[in-house]
Amino acid sequence: MLLTIDPTIIGAASALGGVLVGALAEGIRARLAFRREKSWVIHDERRAHLEEVYEVLERLREAYSLIYADALRTLAIGTSDKAGQFMKPVPWARLRMLVFLYLPELKAQLADIELTGPMLGSAAADAMMEASGNPARKQQLVTTLDHALSDLTKTVDAMRDQIVIHSRAIVAEKTKSVGGKLPKA
Protein backbone atom coordinates (compact mmCIF):
# COMPACT_ATOMS: atom_id res chain seq x y z
CA MET A 1 0.00 0.00 0.00
CA LEU A 2 1.49 3.20 -1.15
CA LEU A 3 1.03 6.30 0.97
CA THR A 4 0.44 9.45 -0.99
CA ILE A 5 0.45 12.92 0.46
CA ASP A 6 -1.60 15.66 -1.04
CA PRO A 7 0.72 18.33 -2.58
CA THR A 8 -1.35 21.10 -0.98
CA ILE A 9 -0.49 19.73 2.47
CA ILE A 10 3.19 19.70 1.56
CA GLY A 11 2.92 23.30 0.31
CA ALA A 12 1.06 24.40 3.44
CA ALA A 13 3.59 22.68 5.71
CA SER A 14 6.46 24.30 3.81
CA ALA A 15 4.84 27.73 4.06
CA LEU A 16 4.20 27.24 7.78
CA GLY A 17 7.82 26.17 8.26
CA GLY A 18 9.01 29.25 6.38
CA VAL A 19 6.85 31.50 8.53
CA LEU A 20 8.19 29.88 11.71
CA VAL A 21 11.82 30.24 10.59
CA GLY A 22 11.19 33.88 9.55
CA ALA A 23 9.50 34.68 12.87
CA LEU A 24 12.32 33.04 14.81
CA ALA A 25 14.95 34.95 12.81
CA GLU A 26 13.07 38.23 13.29
CA GLY A 27 12.77 37.57 17.03
CA ILE A 28 16.52 36.99 17.29
CA ARG A 29 17.25 40.11 15.22
CA ALA A 30 14.91 42.23 17.33
CA ARG A 31 16.45 40.93 20.56
CA LEU A 32 19.97 41.71 19.35
CA ALA A 33 18.90 45.18 18.19
CA PHE A 34 17.30 45.84 21.58
CA ARG A 35 20.46 44.77 23.40
CA ARG A 36 22.63 46.95 21.16
CA GLU A 37 20.36 49.98 21.65
CA LYS A 38 20.22 49.38 25.41
CA SER A 39 24.02 49.16 25.43
CA TRP A 40 24.21 52.45 23.52
CA VAL A 41 21.94 54.14 26.05
CA ILE A 42 24.13 52.89 28.88
CA HIS A 43 27.26 54.08 27.04
CA ASP A 44 25.67 57.48 26.38
CA GLU A 45 24.72 57.88 30.05
CA ARG A 46 28.20 56.86 31.15
CA ARG A 47 29.78 59.29 28.72
CA ALA A 48 27.47 62.05 29.95
CA HIS A 49 28.66 61.38 33.52
CA LEU A 50 32.28 61.47 32.37
CA GLU A 51 31.67 64.81 30.67
CA GLU A 52 29.98 66.15 33.79
CA VAL A 53 32.91 65.08 35.99
CA TYR A 54 35.25 66.75 33.49
CA GLU A 55 33.30 70.01 33.73
CA VAL A 56 33.22 69.88 37.55
CA LEU A 57 36.95 69.18 37.54
CA GLU A 58 37.54 72.30 35.47
CA ARG A 59 35.39 74.35 37.90
CA LEU A 60 37.50 72.94 40.75
CA ARG A 61 40.67 73.93 38.89
CA GLU A 62 39.27 77.42 38.32
CA ALA A 63 38.25 77.85 41.97
CA TYR A 64 41.69 76.85 43.21
CA SER A 65 43.39 79.03 40.58
CA LEU A 66 41.45 82.02 41.91
CA ILE A 67 42.48 81.13 45.46
CA TYR A 68 46.11 80.94 44.28
CA ALA A 69 45.88 84.27 42.44
CA ASP A 70 44.25 85.94 45.43
CA ALA A 71 47.02 84.70 47.71
CA LEU A 72 49.71 85.98 45.33
CA ARG A 73 47.95 89.35 45.09
CA THR A 74 47.79 89.56 48.86
CA LEU A 75 51.51 88.81 49.11
CA ALA A 76 52.34 91.34 46.42
CA ILE A 77 50.42 94.24 47.95
CA GLY A 78 51.01 93.20 51.56
CA THR A 79 47.39 93.38 52.65
CA SER A 80 44.37 91.15 52.48
CA ASP A 81 41.70 93.86 52.53
CA LYS A 82 39.96 92.52 49.38
CA ALA A 83 40.89 88.88 49.81
CA GLY A 84 38.29 86.47 48.59
CA GLN A 85 36.23 88.88 46.50
CA PHE A 86 36.80 86.86 43.31
CA MET A 87 36.77 83.41 44.88
CA LYS A 88 34.37 80.74 43.72
CA PRO A 89 33.20 77.78 45.77
CA VAL A 90 35.14 74.58 45.24
CA PRO A 91 32.62 71.98 43.94
CA TRP A 92 33.72 69.14 46.23
CA ALA A 93 30.25 67.76 46.91
CA ARG A 94 29.34 67.53 43.23
CA LEU A 95 32.65 65.92 42.28
CA ARG A 96 32.45 63.35 45.08
CA MET A 97 28.83 62.53 44.27
CA LEU A 98 29.53 61.95 40.59
CA VAL A 99 32.58 59.79 41.27
CA PHE A 100 31.05 57.70 44.05
CA LEU A 101 27.69 57.16 42.34
CA TYR A 102 28.64 56.81 38.68
CA LEU A 103 32.40 56.49 38.20
CA PRO A 104 33.94 54.59 41.11
CA GLU A 105 36.96 53.72 38.96
CA LEU A 106 38.06 57.36 39.45
CA LYS A 107 38.16 57.10 43.26
CA ALA A 108 41.97 56.90 43.37
CA GLN A 109 42.33 60.11 41.36
CA LEU A 110 39.69 61.80 43.53
CA ALA A 111 41.60 60.78 46.67
CA ASP A 112 44.75 62.39 45.26
CA ILE A 113 42.86 65.61 44.49
CA GLU A 114 41.33 65.57 47.96
CA LEU A 115 44.86 65.58 49.37
CA THR A 116 46.38 68.23 47.13
CA GLY A 117 43.45 70.67 46.97
CA PRO A 118 43.38 71.44 50.68
CA MET A 119 47.19 71.76 50.67
CA LEU A 120 46.84 74.62 48.21
CA GLY A 121 44.05 76.09 50.32
CA SER A 122 46.24 75.95 53.43
CA ALA A 123 49.21 77.49 51.62
CA ALA A 124 46.95 80.27 50.33
CA ALA A 125 45.54 80.89 53.80
CA ASP A 126 49.05 81.06 55.25
CA ALA A 127 50.08 83.53 52.56
CA MET A 128 47.06 85.73 53.17
CA MET A 129 47.49 85.70 56.93
CA GLU A 130 51.23 86.37 56.85
CA ALA A 131 51.38 89.09 54.22
CA SER A 132 54.29 90.70 56.00
CA GLY A 133 56.98 92.97 54.65
CA ASN A 134 59.67 90.30 55.06
CA PRO A 135 60.80 89.47 51.47
CA ALA A 136 62.40 86.15 52.46
CA ARG A 137 59.19 84.98 54.14
CA LYS A 138 57.13 86.15 51.16
CA GLN A 139 59.38 84.16 48.82
CA GLN A 140 58.99 81.09 51.01
CA LEU A 141 55.19 81.47 50.95
CA VAL A 142 55.19 81.91 47.14
CA THR A 143 57.34 78.79 46.76
CA THR A 144 54.93 76.82 48.97
CA LEU A 145 51.99 78.14 46.94
CA ASP A 146 53.69 77.21 43.67
CA HIS A 147 54.41 73.67 44.84
CA ALA A 148 50.86 73.23 46.10
CA LEU A 149 49.41 74.50 42.81
CA SER A 150 51.75 72.25 40.83
CA ASP A 151 50.73 69.20 42.88
CA LEU A 152 47.05 70.00 42.46
CA THR A 153 47.49 70.55 38.73
CA LYS A 154 49.18 67.16 38.37
CA THR A 155 46.39 65.34 40.22
CA VAL A 156 43.64 67.15 38.32
CA ASP A 157 45.41 66.40 35.04
CA ALA A 158 45.73 62.72 36.02
CA MET A 159 41.98 62.51 36.63
CA ARG A 160 41.28 64.36 33.40
CA ASP A 161 43.47 61.90 31.51
CA GLN A 162 41.55 58.97 33.01
CA ILE A 163 38.26 60.57 31.97
CA VAL A 164 39.55 60.94 28.41
CA ILE A 165 40.70 57.30 28.35
CA HIS A 166 37.29 56.09 29.58
CA SER A 167 35.47 58.32 27.12
CA ARG A 168 37.54 57.07 24.18
CA ALA A 169 36.92 53.47 25.27
CA ILE A 170 33.17 54.12 25.19
CA VAL A 171 33.41 55.59 21.69
CA ALA A 172 35.52 52.63 20.55
CA GLU A 173 33.08 50.10 21.96
CA LYS A 174 30.08 51.85 20.44
CA THR A 175 31.78 52.18 17.06
CA LYS A 176 32.84 48.55 17.15
CA SER A 177 29.26 47.45 17.92
CA VAL A 178 28.10 48.76 14.54
CA GLY A 179 31.15 47.52 12.62
CA GLY A 180 32.62 50.98 12.18
CA LYS A 181 36.24 52.01 12.19
CA LEU A 182 37.75 54.26 14.79
CA PRO A 183 39.25 57.58 13.78
CA LYS A 184 42.98 57.98 14.38
CA ALA A 185 43.74 59.63 17.70
pLDDT in tens, 61-108: 999 999 898 888 888 887 766 656 667 888 999 999 999 999 999 999
Average pLDDT over residues 10-25: 89
Domain ranges of the chain: 49-177
Give the phi and the psi of residue 146 in degrees, each rounded to 5: -60, -45
The Cα–Cα gap between 19 and 29 comes to 15
Where do runs of H (alpha helix) occur along the chain? 7-77, 92-102, 107-129, 135-177
Buried-state track 116-152, b at ≥16 Cβ within 10 A, e below 16: bbbebbebbebbbeebeeeeeebeebbebbeebbebb
Say if residue 92 is exposed, middle or buried (CB neighbours under 10 Å; 0-12, 13-18, 19+).
middle
Per-residue pLDDT tens over the stretch 98-112: 999 999 999 999 999
pTM above threshold 0.75:
no
Residue 110 near residue 159 (C-beta atoms within 8 A): yes
113-167 pLDDT, tens digit each: 999 999 998 998 888 887 666 788 888 888 999 999 999 999 999 999 999 999 9
